[in-house]
Structure 1
Amino acid sequence: MSRIGKKPVELPSGVTAHVSGQTIEVKGPKGVRSFTATDDVSLVVEDNVVKVVPRSNSKRARQQWGMSRTQVQNCVTGVTEGFKKQLEIQGVGYRAQVQGKVLKLSLGYSHDVDFPIPEGVQIVCAKPTEIEVSGIDQQLVGQVAANIREWRRPEPYKGKGIRYKGEYIFRKEGKKK
């Protein structure tokens, strides 16, 4: 029995869910999200609660049970609170700024990096060394943050680069004479 799958997903006030076939559509104050479950589970909405029930006792059905429940919970969280990732830039002359639908990054290359902001994601730079990526889709927010970080990963000797806020970088000792 899946401990996660057994828990019902509660819908807060202002959030509605509609099931058609294997697809659930969740509407809330921040937008609309949908999730299509596999045929191994069934989705039921009753009394402001979404329940995910496995259709058989097979191993695949039990695997999909907890995963589907978590995906539905992420849809509900996305349309109510949203998701965000915070990045920090460390290094002399490294900075970021948002210009329209483009994030401009100065990362020590001979040119500035222009990162186009995808649809469904908001990027805010409160300071030139801080980037906040937010949106209602957890996977998309995480992927965009990872793509930005990929331009200059933190290096272990000086710690320069783009890192997640609170990320620990294992530092190495430099050369000795």
Structure 2
Amino acid sequence: MSRIGKKIINLPQKTDIQIIQNNVYIIGPKGKLSYQLPKVINIKYDTKNRTLNLYKTHENKEAQKLYGLSRTLINNMVIGVSQGFEKKLHIQGVGYRSQLQGKNLILNVGYSHPIIIEPPEDIVIEVENNINITIKGIKKEKVGEVAAQIRRIRPPEPYKGKGIRYLNEKINIKVGKAGK
């Protein structure tokens, strides 16, 4: 059984919270996010210690599942509006490169045509040295989804390791055919 839901969420100094019925709004220097709590979960805000506690209204399996999930989602919202999230990708391969054109990411990764990726509104993409891509945003799920979408265009192949990978991702290189 998970005990994540019992953990206290600490709010940073520049972050504010509004609780209206079952809706939680978290406002910080990077933006504003909202989440609708399930009916089996309640939230209490301690203004003195700037902490959030979640409570279950019923003791059943469904409430237990939503308890840890809600706590994690609200904690990710607090981190997102205060610090933000980022994922880094690295392009490896001869002639593989990337560049920005306005907000769009253009990838040349071995296909006959360049691949153009338009990021969602709240996602910022940065390119360094034509081979390092940084995806930044306040929503953890969206940052991870955009990074996975870019990686899916040319995943690293197992023989030479060419392709798009996460920054410190290990690729197990296979041995090629043995000649006679």
TM-score by length of 2: 0.95
C-alpha distance after superposition, 1:15-42 (max 9, x if no partner): 1111112210000011001111211211
Measured in 2, the distance between the counterparts of 1:77 and 1:18 equals 16
Partner residue in 2 for 1:150: 152
Partner residue in 2 for 1:128: 130
Residue 27 of structure 2 is aligned to residue 27 of structure 1: yes
Question: In the alignment, which of 75, 78, 95 is matched to residue 76 of structure 1?
Answer: 78
What does residue range 59-138 of structure 1 map to in structure 2 within 5 Å? 59-138=61-140
Moved segments of 4+, more than 4 Å:
none
Measured in 2, the distance between the counterparts of 1:22 and 1:176 equals 64
Post-superposition offset of 1:176 = 1.4
SS at match of 1:125: strand
Measured in 1, the distance between the counterparts of 2:73 and 2:20 equals 16
SS at match of 2:168: coil
Residue 17 of structure 2 is aligned to residue 17 of structure 1: yes
Measured in 2, the distance between the counterparts of 1:102 and 1:147 equals 14
Whichever residue aligns with residue 17 of structure 1, its letter is I
Post-superposition offset of 1:2 = 4.6
Contact kept in structure 2, 1:18 and 1:45, CA below 8 Å: no
Whichever residue aligns with residue 72 of structure 2, its letter is T
Contact kept in structure 1, 2:103 and 2:125, CA below 8 Å: no
Post-superposition offset of 1:69 = 0.7
Measured in 1, the distance between the counterparts of 2:43 and 2:156 equals 43
SS at match of 2:18: strand
Percentage of pairs with the same residue:
42
CA RMSD of aligned residues (A): 1.1
Moved more, 114-123 or 1-10: 1-10
Unaligned 5+ residue runs, structure 1?
Answer: none
SS at match of 1:71: helix
Unaligned 5+ residue runs, structure 2?
Answer: none
